[in-house]
Amino acid sequence: MYLFTNAMKNLVRNKGRNILIAAVTLAIIVSTVVTLTINNAAAKIIDDIRLDLGSRVEIGQDFMEMRAAGLDGRTDSVHLSINDFYSYANSDYLRKTIFSATMYGWSNTFCAINDDPSNPGATERSDGQGGTVLDETCKLVSTSDPNTLPDFGTLRNITYGRMFEGLNECIISEELANLNGISIGDSLELRGAIVTDKEYKMTVVGFYSDSTDEYTNFMFMFNRPVSENRRNEIITSFDTLMTAGWETSYGLHIKNEYYLKNPDNVKLFEQEVRTKGLPITYNVSINQAAYDKVTGPLSGMKGAAVTFMVVILILGAIVLALLSFMAVRERKYEVGVLRAMGMERGKVAFGILAETVMIAALCLVIGLGAGTVMSQPIADNMLEGRVAAAEAEDAASGTGNKVLFAQGQMQTDDKAAGYMPESEIQVSLGADVIIQIIMITLALAALSGVIGVVVITQYEPLKILRERN
């Protein structure tokens, strides 16, 4: 008990030196609390996003492999059968599958936006093989889950009627409806542009407002093809698209999304679909572009926080070690008197350790409170800066301005269209952070105490007293 009492008195006697040590320790603890809470919060959000985007797998054509095999994609033989896509969905690794596909079409029963109103659907183009075909005037977009349609709820909204539900129902843009005088309940007729025997007659059940860019890919902003104008999209169910009797994916752009139960099972799922006959000209991949876009600011902030914490801990530990070394050397005479009075070396060392632990404990309590208060505004400011930088980079490069080959697929920024960087983060002081901070504080206290013990054990009492001057 005497050792603790004496240690507390020593804290007061040497308050100037102890305040300096406490200030360094408190700065380290507060910085560590802030960085750990930000790091853990960012890591949790990234993990949640990974469970969503990281578990979302797409099967698409590998253009690099097709080119190596001398295939141009214009023949039905290089495309998968529709039943293949259904069989891939029958896997124990999956929790759900969303079927979606698009088809370019044309019609002479209504006029598409930017098409020739005097003769709709009559424009011809080269088929690339020496012949001509009717040019596409619209795009039929289909999905098995209307809730996953991109931009709906933000840039697109149903304004009249309702979302499609049954077979042969569709929704169209207000601009397309106004141009052709189409009303709810009217029918649309169109057929496939590549596979021309696929005919559709659908009932319009809703109109949607559209605030998206007409052309989301910069390559289409110059020649402005009618079929790529987003106001000409006719949206329907995947089952409606399949009613025409598609046997293979030739003429379709299929983007079925397979959701894994565990994102780490991508390779296992790929092995399974390969055994089911998925050719080498198709690949299995996650939407890396969207994942990087959403998690980019968070990952950058997380990395900056970890780097800052490591630097603070290293520099703080060095400064604390120097202060502790100088403090103990200044107290050599005090240590010599105690040893000359008969106090054991271990008890002297214990007293110094007790002082260090008391300072660390006080700093821990204050640091946890201060760090908790400071974490949220610092995190908001850091993330805001990261998001602003990411948006500025996107604005500088232009939407859809990047074209690259990733895993054999030609990808543009459109792969991340509809996804926005995560712009909110909620930090909190959890039990895991508290435990980590306690361990770091104990390590700092042990560092200071051990230095004192090492210095003390180097001197004998009489030698200390002789050299007090």
For 181-205, write each residue's pLDDT tens digit. Answer: 999 999 999 988 888 889 999 999 9
Same-domain pairing of 47 and 123: no
Assess whether 41 and 60 both reside in one domain. Answer: no
365 and 232, same structural domain? no
Closest by Cα among 86, 421, 105, 366 to 252 = 105
Alpha-carbon separation of residue 129 from 63, 132, 133, 135, 138 (angstroms)? 19, 8, 10, 15, 22
Nearest to 287 by CA among 263, 320, 310: 263
Q: Are 182 and 99 part of one and the same domain? A: yes
Q: What is the pLDDT of residue 428?
A: 73
277 and 222 both lie in a single domain: yes
Could you tell me the pTM of the whole model?
Answer: 0.60
Final residue before a domain boundary, out of 260, 285, 310: 285
Upper half-sphere CA count for residue 463 (Cβ side, 13 Å): 5
270 membership: H or E segment, kind and range:
helix 266-275
Last residue of a domain, one of 249, 267, 285: 285
If asked whether residues 119 and 200 sit together in one domain, one would say yes
DSSP state of 108: S
Confidence of residue 411 (pLDDT cuts 50, 70, 90): very low
Measure CA 129 to chain center: 43
Distance CA 233, CA 176 (A): 9
Residues 6+ apart with CB under 8 A from 373: none
Across the chain, what does the average pLDDT equal? 77
- Verify that 354 and 231 share a domain, yes or no: no
- C-alpha to C-alpha distance for 229 and 113, rounded to whole angstroms: 8
Which of 236, 257, 285 is where one domain is finished? Answer: 285
Q: What integer is the mean pLDDT of 373-397?
A: 72
Residue 337's domain comprises 2-51+294-466
Is the CB of residue 466 less than 8 Å from the CB of residue 363?
A: no
88 and 8 together in one domain: no
Do 275 and 361 belong together in one domain?
no
What is the residue whose two structure tokens read 């499609």?
164
Half-sphere exposure of 177 (CA within 13 A, CB side): 23
CB 298 within 8 A of CB 42: yes
Same domain, 67 and 206: yes
The listed range with the strongest mean pLDDT (29-33, 329-333, 354-358) is 29-33
Whether 267 and 416 share a structural domain: no
Of the pLDDT bands very low, low, confident and very high (cuts 50, 70, 90), residue 260 is: confident
Arithmetic mean of pLDDT, 108-132: 69
Domain count, the chain: 2
Instruction: Identify whether residues 26 and 112 lie together within a single domain.
Output: no
- Nearest-angstrom CA–CA distance, 4 and 337: 18
242-265: average pLDDT: 87
Q: What was the pLDDT predicted at 405?
A: 36
- How many residues does this entry show for the chain? 469
Per-residue burial over 180-194, b if 16 or more Cβ lie within 10 Å, else e, is: bebeeeeebebbbbe
